[in-house]
Amino acid sequence: MRVGFAGTPDFAVRMLAAVHAAGYTIPVVLTQPDRPSGRGLAVAPSAVKRYAQEHGLDVLQPATLRNDAIQATLREGELDVLVVAAYGLILPQAVLDAPWHGCLNVHASLLPRWRGAAPMVRAIEAGDPVTGITIMQMDAGLDTGPMLRRESVPIAPRDTAGTLHDRLAEAGARLLVETLDALRDDGGVPATPQPAEGITYANKIGRADRMLRWTRTAEAIDRQVRALSPAPGALAAFHRAWLRVVAAFPLDASPGAPRATGEPGTVQAVTSAGIDVLCGSGTRLRLIDVQPASGRLMTASAFAAGRGVRAGSRFDAVDA
């Protein structure tokens, strides 16, 4: 069976590697054009492109799929199916129709919850106890197509986007190969329409989503930090300088814990364990690991020592 592939980041690499290891013929790999990356903003290939080149797979990097040339290339490739995983470009109807069995999407949520670009981040941010993988037959809508396979993956209390990513990628790769095997052996896979209830959208992460607002509770800020870790990272401001918050912990998570008083954003204590900051509703958040702008990752206590952070200091307020 001839399986085309479209994807860009590390999550997609796990899917591509699984398809490749399963022995399927991969005539073409689509990925986004090389982009500036890292501190030096040097132009770098995507993770999928690196994998494809290392394994001798043909790579195409169109800026859009809405042109006749790329659509003709896909038709001429005589694909049985096109697998899409975190690709980042919209597939027009001509591309959806090109493969014999259409296009399959590996989506990192239990659809219809968290349709859209950032399902892992939004699931942790919302405090969901469980998420999962859905293998979906793609249509013209945003993650609206019928479901072929689903598998639940629990979200642990201290999961970050990074730790959850790895478990979802493992489940997605396995579920994808099972789906392709069934498609090859049976000629089709039973599809279930998505329910009309429970639809939510995982909007793309913007800079405003990264800002820590100390008026929120420590528990909510902790979920935000974990949802954005390891990248792109939550942002706090101290004396008008941005600080990436990599790891934190809520100190008042137990019911009935005494609440502190004062202005949110005020430093309550600085110890070797971190910086304790007052948050909304009298809760407190301990900053553990941080990274100053243009600086290295460090413990919050080391940052405090270097920047003169002490009890009574204030983190800058961020407009809502």
Q: Which domain holds residue 230?
A: 207-307
pLDDT reported for residue 309: 96
Q: Give, in order, the Cα–Cα distances in Å from 178 to each of 69, 109, 160, 204, 288.
A: 32, 18, 27, 29, 41
Q: What is the DSSP letter of 192?
A: B
pTM: 0.94
Neighbours of 157 (CB within 10 A): 9
- Total tally of structural domains belonging to the chain: 2
**Residues 149 and 21 placed together within one structural domain of the fold:** yes
Q: Are residues 190 and 250 in the same domain?
A: no
The answer to whether the beta carbons of residues 293 and 242 sit under 8 Å apart is yes
Rounded to an integer, what distance in angstroms lies between the CA atom of residue 299 and that of residue 289?
4
135 neighbors 149 (Cβ within 8 angstroms): yes
Q: Which secondary structure element, helix H or strand E, spans residue 305, and what is its range?
A: helix 300-307
pLDDT tens across the length of the chain (320 residues) = 999 999 999 999 999 999 999 999 999 999 999 988 766 668 899 999 999 999 999 999 999 999 999 999 999 999 999 999 999 999 999 999 999 999 999 999 999 999 999 999 999 999 999 999 999 999 999 999 999 999 999 999 999 999 999 999 999 999 999 999 999 999 999 999 999 999 999 999 999 999 999 999 999 999 999 999 999 999 999 999 999 999 999 997 566 666 778 999 999 999 999 999 999 999 999 999 999 988 999 999 999 999 999 999 999 988 65
The last residue of one of the domains, among 202, 235, 260, is 202
CA distances to 203, 232, 235, 268, 291 from 125, rounded to whole Å, are 12, 14, 15, 25, 21
pLDDT at residue 38 in the model? 64
Same domain, 303 and 227: yes
Residue where a domain stops, chosen among 154, 172, 202: 202
Q: Is 314 part of a structural domain of the chain? A: no
227 and 179 share a domain? no
In this structure, are 74 and 196 located in the same domain?
yes
Is residue 316 assigned to a domain?
no
> Where is the domain boundary, 202, 233, 264?
202
- The pLDDT of residue 259 is 74
